[in-house]
Amino acid sequence: MAGLEPKFILKEPNKKARTLIYILLNWKGKRLKVSTSETIIPEYWDKDNQRPISNKKQLRTLAPILQKELSILSIKLDEIDLFVNDLILDLKRDKTVSLDTIQKRVLEFLGRKMIEEAKPVNFIEYFTSMVTRMENGTYLTDKGTKYSPNTIKSYKSNLLLLTDFEKEIGCINIEEIDIDFYNSLLQYCNQIGFRTNTTGSVIKRIKAVLHTAFEEGISKNTIFQSNNFKAVKEKVYNIYLTSEELKKLIDLPLSGTYEKYRDVFLIGCYVAQRYSDYSRISPEHIQTTGNGNKVIDLIQIKTKQRVLIPFLFPELDTLLQKYDYKVPKIVEQPFNRALKKIGELAGIDKEVVLTENIGGETKERLVKKYELITSHTARRTGATNLFLLGYSAIQIMKVTGHTTAESLMDYIKVSLEENADKMATQIETE
């Protein structure tokens, strides 16, 4: 029985974000690997001791809440280890025990059942429990952070859709989700008039839930890995505002709420950040570099990445001074509605052709440019205008927080004509 040696290992020991902790058992030349459902950031894992780091000097450098989390995790792993060692003693008395029996006993201790013996897991019920865990903070992102309210809202919206879909096709069990399910869902989304990217968002969430169920040992279904089970996507026509159009907004005589909305949007255009970041700029974010240049020093909400935004436009400083460097608090939904009206008042009414796939059909329609303005237009506007001013992709990425040139280029909305003019100007100045 000495071959049964429990060992804790990480699923992805080189990962920067959280990874699952497995217990590994060797039994008569065969290996049993079971997920504990516990996770840890590998940086805080002591491989030799097979436990979270316990060195007091190292722990002192961590936040108190993280210290407590690692301590609780150590206790949980100790309990699992104690159970397995007791199990080894029991097995010494029974030489006929099988690997399946060992797996069953370990899973029972961990509060789970072997997948083969478990009753079919309803996908909607599991999806619901996952959303609940997101809300109470017991299910975290790969980076070990809580899910944002917007992400949870998206999951809830998709859950409602799938609940309606289940009424159409009957009970959805996790193990039964396959390509036929995928095709039926696509057809259903087309029938109710979903845009391609809305359907893609639903599938993306389904894949994420299936992946989690697989990781947690709830399901053996790996359809989420199939290239055919993909989140459909189409290129969206997104606008940016030219420097001339920004000037129209600045010159527009406004007062009250509309004035505040216009100013917040313009600040977003000049800093090239997401709404969640430009809407919370306050005096503590205003810093000065070693060379005496004023910058906005932000940790981005979505990526937790630090960016330094220089005051490249005098309008930015003027707008921030107007509010004592504290961007006014606003609510995004009415903000988006108001931006369209403000754009109309400013005369940002150039007609553009919008091509969309709605309900499985490609449709074209003419819209006024102001109809497409949203809070996120500010970020695209900022990135595009920096590009047109001649800043390099690397320089812009340092400001926007994009990690690849490819992802940045999705934000740069330069027309063919603008690109030709920019290239011609470069030749003239060389």
The answer to which of 237-241, 294-298, 356-360 has the lowest mean pLDDT is 356-360
User: Which of 198, 225, 252 represents a domain boundary (last residue)?
Assistant: 225
Look at residue 153 in the predicted model and tell me its pLDDT.
Answer: 92
Collect contacts of 4-13 with beta carbons under 8 A, ≥24 apart. Answer: 4/88, 4/91, 4/102, 6/81, 6/84, 6/85, 6/88, 7/50, 8/36, 8/50, 8/51, 8/77, 8/81, 9/50, 10/40, 10/42, 10/45, 11/35, 12/42, 13/42, 13/45, 13/47
Residue 39 or 273, more confident: 273
Distance CA 54, CA 71 (A): 8
Q: Could you give the percent of the chain with pLDDT greater than 90?
A: 50
Look at residue 1 in the predicted model and tell me its pLDDT.
Answer: 41
Does 400 lie in the same domain as 304?
yes
Residue 104 near residue 114, CB atoms below 8 Å: yes
Which pTM does this prediction carry? 0.61
Q: Give the mean model confidence (pLDDT) for residues 164-192.
A: 92
Describe the crossing of helices 256-271 and 332-345 by its angle, rounded to 10 degrees: 90
User: Which of 194, 225, 256 represents a domain boundary (last residue)?
Assistant: 225
Look at residue 37 in the predicted model and tell me its pLDDT.
Answer: 80
Does 294 lie in the same domain as 361?
yes
> In this structure, is residue 115 part of a structural domain?
no
Does 42 lie in the same domain as 12?
yes
Count CB neighbours of 49 within 10 A.
Answer: 12
> In this structure, is residue 238 part of a structural domain?
no
Q: Give the mean model confidence (pLDDT) for residues 44-72.
A: 82
Does 176 lie in the same domain as 219?
yes
Does 377 lie in the same domain as 307?
yes
Does 191 lie in the same domain as 283?
no
Q: Which residues have CB under 8 Å from 260's CB, separation 6+?
A: 328, 330
Does 273 lie in the same domain as 131?
no
Distance CA 352, CA 356 (A): 13
Q: Which residues pair with 33 in a beta bridge?
A: 24
Q: Give the mean model confidence (pLDDT) for residues 183-205.
A: 93
> In this structure, is residue 164 part of a structural domain?
yes
- Per the structure, the count of domains in the chain is 3
CATH of the domain at 294: 1.10.443.10
User: Which of 45, 79, 109 represents a domain boundary (last residue)?
Assistant: 109
Give 416's pLDDT tier (boundaries 50, 70, 90).
Answer: low
Residue 28 has pLDDT above 90, yes or no: no
Residue 225 near residue 219, CB atoms below 8 Å: no
Please report the sign of the dihedral spanned by the C-alpha atoms of residue 315, residue 316, residue 320, residue 321. Answer: negative
Does 172 lie in the same domain as 265?
no
Give 311's pLDDT tier (boundaries 50, 70, 90).
Answer: very high
Look at residue 285 in the predicted model and tell me its pLDDT.
Answer: 97
> In this structure, is residue 167 part of a structural domain?
yes
Residue 348 near residue 265, CB atoms below 8 Å: no
Residue 60 near residue 45, CB atoms below 8 Å: no
Residue 281 near residue 298, CB atoms below 8 Å: yes
Residue 429 has pLDDT above 60, yes or no: no
CA distances 408 to 150, 322, 376, Å, are: 22, 31, 14
Q: Which residues have CB under 8 Å from 404's CB, separation 6+?
A: 397
Give 65's pLDDT tier (boundaries 50, 70, 90).
Answer: confident
Q: Which residues have CB under 8 Å from 70's CB, separation 6+?
A: 40, 44, 52, 53, 54, 59, 62
Does 155 lie in the same domain as 41?
no
Does 105 lie in the same domain as 138?
no
Backbone angles phi, psi at 228, to 5 degrees: -80, -20
Residue 27 or 335, more confident: 335
> In this structure, is residue 233 part of a structural domain?
no
Token digits of residue 364 = 């074209």
Token digits of residue 127 = 């999806």
pLDDT digits (tens, 9 = 90+) for 119-163: 678 999 999 999 999 998 888 887 778 888 889 999 999 999 999
Does 105 lie in the same domain as 134?
no
> In this structure, is residue 231 part of a structural domain?
no
Residue 116 has pLDDT above 60, yes or no: no
Closest by CA to 410, choosing from 236, 289, 272, is 236
Look at residue 186 in the predicted model and tell me its pLDDT.
Answer: 94
Pair type for strands 30-40 and 19-27: antiparallel
> In this structure, is residue 235 part of a structural domain?
no
> In this structure, is residue 60 part of a structural domain?
yes
Look at residue 209 in the predicted model and tell me its pLDDT.
Answer: 95
Q: Give the mean model confidence (pLDDT) for residues 268-282.
A: 95
CA distances 220 to 21, 111, 116, 215, 293, Å, are: 18, 17, 9, 9, 56
Does 319 lie in the same domain as 412?
yes
Q: Range of 363's domain?
A: 243-429
Closest by CA to 279, choosing from 266, 264, 258, is 264
Residue 104 or 404, more confident: 404
pLDDT digits (tens, 9 = 90+) for 373-390: 999 999 999 999 999 998
Residue 371 has pLDDT above 50, yes or no: yes
